[in-house]
Structure 1
Amino acid sequence: MNVDLLTLGESMVSLRSAGPLSAGGSLGMHVAGAESNVAVGVARLGHSVAWAGVVGADPHGEYILRQLRSEGIAVQHREHASRSTGVMFLEQRTADVTRAFYYRAGSAGSSLGRDDVDRAFRNGARVVHLTGITAALSQEAQRAVEYAAARAAGEGLEVSLDVNYRSKLWSRDEARAVLTPLARHATILIASDDELGLVSADPGDASTADGAESAVAAELLYRGVREVVVKRGASGAGVHTAAGRWESPAVPVTSIDTVGAGDAFTAGYLSALLDGEDVAGRLHRGALAGAFAVSTAGDWEGLPRRDELVLLGATPSGTTLR
């Protein structure tokens, strides 16, 4: 079975609080993980998707597998007998600030290794999607990500790498030391505007932010990356290629939850790539998917199916479709 998209990484149980955790109260249980967020987004848009990772032999791991399978994702997992599935608490501290608290050190997911990558690659894929998060979890996981990227590039597959920097997992210097050489395997490099310096051998030399972005993009293109995709949140997104630069505004919506928005954008972008859309079409679908994410609650629960993409951008705000 040659799937459209293969992604590898750690999925966790996310326990969400609607207010300060210190005040107690109810918690909602969800599946979290950048790679599985992208997997769900791409699957909902009509593509075949496989997710590979490691979970504990515990109810949390069982919950994750059940949720991913219910989205039509082929799960290629290993159960770790002595390590637990990672857990994350998400606190809605204010209407504008959400804080994450990780309990994933030594988790089952951090034990992802080369053997897991080999098993995941057996069935083939058109696109392999990786993130910097998994590389930050452990040396073993870092080596697995490096191996997956090099193998996919060597086999002529599309390699999508999202920087996805997490300051609670490693420092910027630590991330740069790993991600800059890793980026040479990427066909598509995805980063927020404040993450680009983490994949550059010489970041921040230009006199303006736009100049710095262009300089890093030029460096990455010279090193073999085909598309440098820059996410700017509410300011939209842009793409640098050898043929030029494209920009797209964000789709205006009422934002209620920004968690997972970047992964949603990536899912939309990769879905359009799989459909053969040009750069402008990829940016547009990415913006639409991101708008669905920020205007609904949850990491991925509100992500659109293909026939729902027309709901945003084409109908007035507050519309009830009858």
Structure 2
Amino acid sequence: MTADVGRASVDLLTFGESMVSLRSAGPLSAGGALSMHVAGAESNVAVGVARLGHSVSWAGVVGADPHGEFILRQLRAEGVGLQHREDATRRTGVMFLEQRTADVTRAFYYRSGSAGSTLCPEDIDSALQAGPRILHLTGITAALSPESRKAVEHAAERAAADGVVVSLDVNYRSKLWSREEAREVLTPLVRHAGILIASDDELGLVATAPTGTHDQASSEAAMVAELLGLGVQEVVVKRGAAGASVHTADGRWDAPPVSVTSIDTVGAGDAFTAGYLSALLDGADVPGRLHRGALTGAFAVSTAGDWEGLPSRAELALLGTTPGGTTQR
């Protein structure tokens, strides 16, 4: 595995598959121009945290092809340190993203057997030597292959044993595996996680959803209690346009979304996570973490691309304090 020269330690380490995303502004079946981007939940978070001024490393595998070269160049340009391996026998994964309507975006993956799916525990060992303060994992990587699942399990166990804060985002993808498969793999990982991040419809993949009740609040409270009982310190629940919540042993905090004009929701959850973890690295309290997560999520949905519109630290004040529709002169 090749490592970019950098600091002996980093604020955040994450790993997974980054792909080339070919975006269409309309139905793919109608043809038309495609724009080329880097896509991947983990690299989205890496870029978001790096833009906010933290040291970040991303580990992964790309093919020895132009697509892999494009991904590495883009991440380096964003100040993300790389711990990567190139596989000359496999191709870099590709995803087509179709803006089917103003409200519906569809992803079509061409990643089966990709270079990124060969990520293994040996790849992660060298990356963990950087001594990260936070290790950020997602369920997407665990879904790619048996090898990548072992890498996630190995990294979570080793990092937790070394006292590293482990952040686990469920990030369920129905095109990669079933809910039953995800539950079987992700539930054991929870015991290593200090921070568990999930959408409100993903909690049931890592905790036991109570039967016989249709009250969402009571169901969530029961699942959160189970997760906290397993040793999770913070359960972060993303609610999309309804904001977000954090549960800890000390109680629950809620934050509304920042009001913006939404034009592209892809990557919004990753942007929220980047803001939340950045604030944690800065020593902010739970309300402060939620607020920064809401801000970075708002930047994501109000700009085009998975991560292109994410803010620098100086730009955080642009939303929530500047009137909408204004031009700074």
TM-score using structure 2 length: 0.97
Which residue among 75, 95, 98 is the counterpart of 1:68?
Answer: 75
Q: Which residue of 2 aligns with 1:89?
A: 96
Q: 2:223 is matched by which residue type in structure 1?
A: V
Q: What RMSD, in angstroms, separates the aligned Cα atoms of the two structures?
A: 0.6
Which residue among 225, 238, 241 is the counterpart of 2:232?
Answer: 225
Once residues 266 and 49 of structure 2 are traced to their aligned partners in structure 1, the CA distance between those partners, rounded to angstroms, is 17
Q: Which residue of 1 aligns with 2:31?
A: 24
Q: Which residue of 1 aligns with 2:4?
A: none
SS in 2 for 1:3: coil
Mapped pair 1:120 → 2:132: no
Mapped pair 1:258 → 2:265: yes
Once residues 197 and 130 of structure 2 are traced to their aligned partners in structure 1, the CA distance between those partners, rounded to angstroms, is 25
Once residues 225 and 285 of structure 1 are traced to their aligned partners in structure 2, the CA distance between those partners, rounded to angstroms, is 21
Kindly state the Cα deviation for residue 207 of structure 1 after the two structures are TM-superposed: 3.6
Q: Which residue of 1 aligns with 2:297?
A: 290
Which residue among 150, 170, 190 is the counterpart of 1:143?
Answer: 150
Q: Contact 1:15–1:28 at 8 Å: present in 2 too?
A: yes
Once residues 263 and 286 of structure 2 are traced to their aligned partners in structure 1, the CA distance between those partners, rounded to angstroms, is 28
Mapped pair 1:270 → 2:293: no
SS in 2 for 1:25: coil
Q: Which residue of 1 aligns with 2:189?
A: 182
CA displacement, residues 92-147 of structure 1 (integer Å, 9 cap, x when unaligned): 00000000000000000000001101111111100000000000000110010000
Which residue among 151, 154, 160 is the counterpart of 1:153?
Answer: 160
Q: 2:104 is matched by which residue type in structure 1?
A: V
Q: 1:225 is matched by which residue type in structure 2?
A: V
Number of aligned residue pairs: 321
SS in 1 for 2:190: helix
CA displacement, residues 249-283 of structure 1 (integer Å, 9 cap, x when unaligned): 00000000000000000000000000000000000
Q: Pairwise mapping of residues 157-236 of structure 1 onto structure 2 (< 5 A)? A: 157-200=164-207, 202-205=208-211, 206-236=213-243
Q: Which residue of 2 aligns with 1:102?
A: 109
Q: Contact 1:197–1:204 at 8 Å: present in 2 too?
A: no
Q: Contact 1:221–1:227 at 8 Å: present in 2 too?
A: yes
Q: 1:266 is matched by which residue type in structure 2?
A: T
Kindly state the Cα deviation for residue 247 of structure 1 after the two structures are TM-superposed: 0.2
CA displacement, residues 224-270 of structure 1 (integer Å, 9 cap, x when unaligned): 00000000001000000000000000000000000000000000000
Kindly state the Cα deviation for residue 81 of structure 1 after the two structures are TM-superposed: 1.3
Once residues 2 and 204 of structure 1 are traced to their aligned partners in structure 2, the CA distance between those partners, rounded to angstroms, is 42
Kindly state the Cα deviation for residue 197 of structure 1 after the two structures are TM-superposed: 0.3
CA displacement, residues 159-181 of structure 1 (integer Å, 9 cap, x when unaligned): 00000000000000000001111
- Quick one: percent identity of the two aligned structures? 77
Q: 2:108 is matched by which residue type in structure 1?
A: F
Which residue among 39, 42, 47 is the counterpart of 1:40?
Answer: 47
SS in 1 for 2:133: strand
Once residues 209 and 153 of structure 2 are traced to their aligned partners in structure 1, the CA distance between those partners, rounded to angstroms, is 22
SS in 2 for 1:262: helix
Kindly state the Cα deviation for residue 212 of structure 1 after the two structures are TM-superposed: 1.0
Q: Which residue of 2 aligns with 1:130?
A: 137
Once residues 172 and 21 of structure 1 are traced to their aligned partners in structure 2, the CA distance between those partners, rounded to angstroms, is 28
SS in 2 for 1:136: helix
SS in 1 for 2:209: coil
Which residue among 10, 21, 24 is the counterpart of 2:17?
Answer: 10
Q: Contact 1:17–1:90 at 8 Å: present in 2 too?
A: yes
Once residues 196 and 293 of structure 1 are traced to their aligned partners in structure 2, the CA distance between those partners, rounded to angstroms, is 23
Q: 2:63 is matched by which residue type in structure 1?
A: G
SS in 1 for 2:294: helix
SS in 2 for 1:246: strand
Displaced runs of 4 or more, over 4 A:
none
Once residues 152 and 122 of structure 1 are traced to their aligned partners in structure 2, the CA distance between those partners, rounded to angstroms, is 10
Structure 2, gaps ≥5 residues long: 1-7
Q: Which residue of 1 aligns with 2:5?
A: none
